[in-house]
Structure 1
Amino acid sequence: MLQGIHHTAIICSDYQRSRAFYVELLGLKVVAENYRAERDSWKLDLALPDGCQIELFSFPEPPARPSRPEACGLRHLAFRVDDLDDAIAHLHHADIAVEPVRVDPFTNKRFTFFADPDGLPLELYEIQP
């Protein structure tokens, strides 16, 4: 029945700042960008190389996330990378704080966390080709 994840939706507090973060820093491709006047809201569709998408939304005065990261609901968004050290260096070059690298005790894969402009926890998970 299910064949994969099509998209993840993110609501941001500052549309231009988050757009720059996901497009310019993380390198996601813009698929579509639309302003919905009736909702005073932007919707930006972004594509990852594997076909998955992120929908970035802006809304006037969205409520804050209850807590980080143990609030009920989505805990974090994980991106697959081929070279974790390369990805970390790219983030450090842009002055993005990255947590120390950890190793998953069950898979022996390396991973780390960083945050988007609104503090949404993002993970880099290394899967070497």
Structure 2
Amino acid sequence: MRLSTLKIMNIHHVAIICSNYEVSKHFYTDILGLKIVSEVYRKERNSYKLDLIVDDTYQIELFSFPDPPERPTHPEAAGLRHLAFQVENVEAAKQELQAKGIEVEDVRVDPFTDKKFTFFQDPDGLPLELYEA
């Protein structure tokens, strides 16, 4: 039996394809407060790539492509179900997002961890979760 040398150390990044680059850039930077690491325009693909940092550890790569297909179903399509962000206080984070005009679901409690969580969506309908630390 061969021993595996595969050792996953961490999540490096999550890639998101958006339909409107400027709208999504505003959402992730101005609404969610993520910081820009780099931004490049790839002429050969008619596409922007925006690298965003989450708490100096994780990255989100925001891509724009001309006419990407819509998400097939919400939220149960095969593939990425949702992206979850950990916050100190879910209710305070919910209020801040609502003050910025973002619709946020009611806060619920995870029956297995007793932690509070809620969902909202990015401009393309990608489900995003706030999960209490």
TM-score by length of 1: 0.97
Identity of aligned residues (%): 62
CA RMSD across the alignment: 0.7
Shift of 1:76: 0.2
Whose radius of gyration is greater, 1 or 2? 2
Equivalent positions of 1:3-22 (< 5 A) are 3-22=9-28
Match of 1:84 in 2: 90
Q: CA offsets, 1:58-100, max 9 Å, x none?
A: 0000011110111011100000001112111110101111001
Query: How many Å separate the matches in 1 of 2:40 and 2:102?
Result: 28
Residue type at the aligned position of 2:39: E
One-letter amino acid of the counterpart of residue 65, structure 1: R
Give how far 1:112 is off: 0.2
Structure 2: unaligned runs, 5 residues or longer:
1-6
Q: Does 1:66 align with 2:72?
A: yes
User: Within 1, Cα distance between the matches of 2:72 and 2:121?
Assistant: 16
* Alignment check: 8 A CA contact 2:39 2:49 kept: yes
| 1:45 and 2:35 matched | no
Runs of 4+ deviating beyond 2 Å: none
Unmatched tracts of structure 1, length 5 or more: none
Are the counterparts in 1 of residues 19 and 67 from structure 2 also a CA contact under 8 Å? Answer: yes
Taking structure 2 as the reference length, what is the TM-score of the superposition?
Answer: 0.94
